[in-house]
Amino acid sequence: MNLKNCNVVATFGTGEVGKLAYILMKKHDGDVRGSLANLTGAQLEEVAREVFGQMLDGVAYLHSNGIAHRDIKSKNSLGRHGF
């Protein structure tokens, strides 16, 4: 399946080895937590709201394609801010 959404990391394929399944995807370094730690007040709320909205959009896109993420957490979120 070829997923194309700005809120979903590019995937290149899937497969199985025995009972293990895998997904080949583009490597991204970093996560949103470190960058949010430097923000305060209204700025933090604004960026957090935007990142959360992006996560919801990405999850909705996955669900519309019959895919469940199963590991949603801040470490797995990059946001469009380049985090």
For residue 83, the one-letter residue type is F
Helices (H), the chain: 32-36, 41-64
Asked if 44 and 81 count as a contact pair (C-beta separation under 8 A), the reply is no
More confident residue, 50 or 35: 50
Domains contained in the chain, number: 1
Whether 42 is covered by a domain: the verdict is yes
Whether 4 is covered by a domain: the verdict is no
- What pairs with residue 21 in β-bridges? 16
CA 27 to chain centre: 12
Q: Which of 3-7, 59-63, 77-81 has the highest mean pLDDT?
A: 59-63
The pLDDT tens digits for 22-44 are 888 887 766 666 667 788 889 88
Q: Given a cut of 90, is residue 10 above it in pLDDT?
A: no
Stated pTM of the model: 0.70
Rounded Cα gap, residues 28 and 25, in angstroms:
9
Rounded Cα gap, residues 16 and 22, in angstroms:
6
Domain containing 32 equals: 11-76
Identify the pLDDT of residue 56: 92
Q: Given a cut of 50, is residue 82 above it in pLDDT?
A: no
Whether 81 is covered by a domain: the verdict is no
